[in-house]
């Protein structure tokens, strides 16, 4: 089972969703009142430790890398995506691609371009992934801080989605499941990436892979410290011996993961990064952990770059990435989104020949002079 989306219009990769470019609402009808309208914000109770958005340390590194580059660069976004069930019996991954938020969502304009992309890797069922895909973008766009305080608005959207899904599950327990979530926004020349879980965002900057997100694994030292401070533990790489991710939306049915306010060893709070795009930034890969199980960051960038140079089609490139992941025996569902920032394919890079300074010793000069003198005779 597979699905695809070519750039140029909004799309959702749920393998059977509506074709109008809007995310499907898997809970429309009897459960809709649980998470629509003004009640949503009232339902979110933030713990004190969740009131500040934390920017990744890598922001400094990325900004350093932009020095000397054109600062007035405006990307021309186009995207593609592909999903495949892989070797699993059920499909729990989905994605969303909106190249133009004003056109695809009817939102007010706040800069051009304005785009939203997301990858959601479900576990224990697909309900949480579908719910996050349908509602997280809406929570973001309706946030009063968006786009003025975009990082805080994105973090709030993750937490509100988590809280709203808890309400939906309280009405229908069969929805119980969880999902990791990775989102990317392009607003003008700014790129914002938010991640909760082990999906990953990798930027290609003039052929170099730059990781824009952290994998939230329970055995990561910072995550382990946070987990243990909130009463959890890590056993054999699993959170409380049950989950192999430290951050996710949902999983409200699992004991000891979250209290009613959403605070606990399992966090839905994303890490958020913001950077300014430059003319050297070629494309962004958003992939579920099934992709990174068999691709190193640079390996994926090199592969995608080579394919884009051949046909310059992001949707075809995504399919080729997934086909290659299957050849490499990835064991998971597969979902990938690729966002290009320019209309032209990535340029072929040629390494300049290094200039080598050569010198000759006094003795060598003497021998050379003798040789030239002998020729003169």
φ and ψ of 97, to 5 deg: -135, 115
DSSP H/E element including 59: helix 58-65
Structure tokens at 85: 């069930």
Above 70 in pLDDT, residue 68? no
Nearest alpha-carbon partner for 95 in 273, 247, 286: 286
The closest alpha carbon to 291, from 375, 194, 206, 182, belongs to 182
**Beta partners for 316?**
none
Range with the poorest average pLDDT among 45-54, 166-175, 226-235: 45-54
Map tokens 């082990």 to a residue.
198
Cβ atoms within 10 Å of 43's Cβ, excluding its own:
13
Cβ-in-10-Å burial (0-12, 13-18, 19+) of 329 comes to exposed
Give the three-state DSSP class for 360.
coil
Distance CA 156, CA 149 (A): 11
Domain with 201, as residue range(s), is 2-376
DSSP 8-class letter at 347: P
SS3 (DSSP) at 127: helix
Is the peptide bond between 76 and the residue preceding it cis, with omega within 30 degrees of 0? no
E runs forming strands in 100-172: 114-123
Q: Is 349 helix (H, G, I), strand (E, B) or coil?
A: coil
120 Cβ contact partners less than 8 Å away, ≥ 6 residues apart: 93, 94, 95, 128, 129, 130, 132, 133, 179, 180, 181, 182, 199, 335
Contact 196, 268 (CB under 8 A): yes
Give the range with max mean pLDDT: 37-51, 60-74, 95-109, 334-348.
334-348
* Eight-class DSSP state of 190: E
Rounded (5°) CA angle 260-261-267: 105
Give pLDDT tens digits for 224-233: 999 999 999 9
Q: Distance from CA of residue 188 to its chain's centroid?
A: 18
Q: Which tens digit of pLDDT belongs to each residue from 140-166?
A: 999 988 888 999 999 999 999 999 999
- Cα separation, 267 vs 181, in Å, equals 12
Cα distances from 150 to residues 53, 101, 134, 170, in angstroms, run 10, 15, 19, 30
Residue pair 18/134 in contact by the 8 Å Cβ criterion: no
Read off the CATH number of the domain in which 235 is found.
3.60.40.10
Q: Mean pLDDT in the chain? A: 83
Specify the pLDDT at position 354.
65
Lowest mean pLDDT among 190-194, 205-209, 245-249, 364-368: 364-368
pLDDT of residue 350: 78
pLDDT of residue 360: 76
Distance CA 209, CA 318 (A): 17
pLDDT score of 359: 73
- Residue 78: the pLDDT is 96
Q: With 90 as the cut, is the pLDDT of residue 103 above it?
A: no
Domain count, the chain: 1
Q: What is the pLDDT of residue 361?
A: 77
What is the percent of the chain where pLDDT is above 90?
Answer: 66
On whether the CB atoms of residues 34 and 27 are closer than 8 A, the answer is yes
**Residues 341, 331: Cα–Cα separation, whole Å:** 31
Give the pLDDT band of residue 217 (cuts 50, 70, 90).
very high
């Amino acid at each position: 089972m597979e699905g695809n989306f070519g750039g140029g219009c909004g799309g959702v990769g749920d393998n059977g969703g509506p074709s109008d470019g809007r995310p499907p609402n898997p809970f429309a009808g009897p459960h809709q009142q649980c998470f629509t309208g003004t009640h949503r914000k009232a339902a979110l109770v933030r713990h004190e430790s969740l009131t500040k958005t934390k920017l990744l340390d890598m922001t400094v590194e990325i900004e350093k890398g932009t020095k000397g580059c054109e600062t007035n660069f405006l990307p021309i976004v186009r995207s593609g995506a592909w999903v495949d069930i892989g070797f699993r019996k059920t499909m729990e991954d989905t994605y969303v691609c909106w190249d133009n938020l004003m056109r695809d969502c009817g939102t007010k304009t706040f800069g051009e371009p304005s785009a939203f992309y997301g990858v959601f890797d479900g576990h224990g069922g697909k309900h949480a992934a579908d719910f996050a895909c349908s509602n997280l973008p809406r929570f973001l766009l309706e946030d009063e801080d968006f786009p003025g305080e975009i990082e805080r608005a994105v973090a709030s959207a993750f937490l509100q989605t988590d809280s709203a899904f808890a309400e939906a599950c309280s009405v229908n327990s069969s929805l119980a499941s969880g999902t990791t979530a990775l989102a990317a926004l392009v607003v003008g020349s700014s790129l914002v990436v938010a991640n909760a879980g082990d999906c990953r965002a990798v930027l290609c900057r003039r052929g170099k892979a730059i990781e824009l997100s952290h994998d939230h694994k329970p055995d990561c030292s910072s995550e382990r410290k946070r987990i243990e401070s909130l009463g959890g533990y890590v056993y054999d790489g699993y959170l409380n011996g049950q989950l192999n991710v430290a951050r996710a939306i949902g999983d409200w049915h699992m004991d000891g993961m979250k209290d009613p306010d959403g605070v606990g060893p399992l966090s839905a709070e994303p890490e958020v990064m913001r950077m300014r795009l430059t003319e050297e930034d070629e494309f962004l890969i958003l992939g579920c952990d099934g992709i990174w199980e068999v691709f190193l960051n640079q390996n994926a960038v090199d592969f995608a770059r080579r394919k884009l140079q051949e046909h310059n089609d992001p949707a075809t490139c995504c399919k080729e990435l997934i086909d290659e992941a299957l050849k490499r025996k990835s064991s998971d569902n597969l979902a990938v989104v690729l966002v290009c920032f320019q209309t032209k394919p990535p340029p072929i890079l040629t390494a300049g020949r290094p200039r080598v300074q050569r010198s000759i010793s006094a003795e060598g000069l003497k021998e050379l002079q003798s040789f030239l003198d002998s020729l003169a005779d």
